[in-house]
Chain A
């Protein structure tokens, strides 16, 4: 089976930096996705990490450590529109995406 753990809620201030952690235990691990989901909407793709290390994409970066079963999503220069849920999803050789509980981020002015 799979076990995925993320903080349930986080708050931050506009312009700040926030790091959302995800730990996972899976078999047949291939890589890890991060998705963003605004309330009442479908998830949208943010990043996919296969190799260890940090991948930067604009204000968002994602880190993976395969040996530790650990990933984080780093959001810089936070904006109000970044208030959303962030979903960690390991991708395994079952060809299915299994989502973590999601982290609800609220950005305050």
Chain B
């Protein structure tokens, strides 16, 4: 069964509003989780590394004030897209490492499709 869940699976919002996406690790306490973004017909682009109990680490070019990441517990990371605009419309996917001593195979959530009108 699924080991990572995301909610919501789809969201449509108006330009200027904020949207929160939840990512849950269902069977493992994950100190680290990852957030990706995928535009149509493109590959996954790593946005940030979510660290439990500390600040997220953002990839170059990703605005940390626009994409707020909170990893408040070992099973939940949230991504909030603030003041969303149409160009933020994308498929957002989270993942967690397989395990502590794994070779970092990642299990991915089912993704959240965000459409900003």
A21 CB within 8 Å of chain B: no
Give bound CA distance, A101 to B103, whole Å.
Answer: 22
Question: Contact between A91 and B46 (Cβ–Cβ < 8 Å)?
Answer: no
* Chain A proximity mask over B96-117: 1 for CB below 8 Å, otherwise 0: 0100000111111111010000
Measured in the bound complex, the distance between the Cα atoms of B104 and A47 in whole Å is 12
Q: How far is the CB of A7 from chain B (nearest CB, A)?
A: 13
A32 to B71, CA, bound (A): 28
Q: What residues of A have a CB within 8 angstroms of the CB of B32 in the complex?
A: 95
State how many residues of chain B have any CB contact under 8 Å with chain A: 23
For B91, the chain A residues whose CB sits under 8 A away are 40
**Is A91 a contact partner of B103 (Cβ separation < 8 A)?**
yes
CA distance A29 to B103 in the complex (A): 12
A30 touches B43 (CB 8 A): no
Q: Is the CB of B93 within 8 A of A42?
A: yes
Contact with B along A31-44 (1 / 0, CB 8 A): 10100000011111
A-B contact pairs, 6 of them (CB 8 A): A30-B103, A42-B93, A50-B103, A87-B43, A91-B104, A96-B46
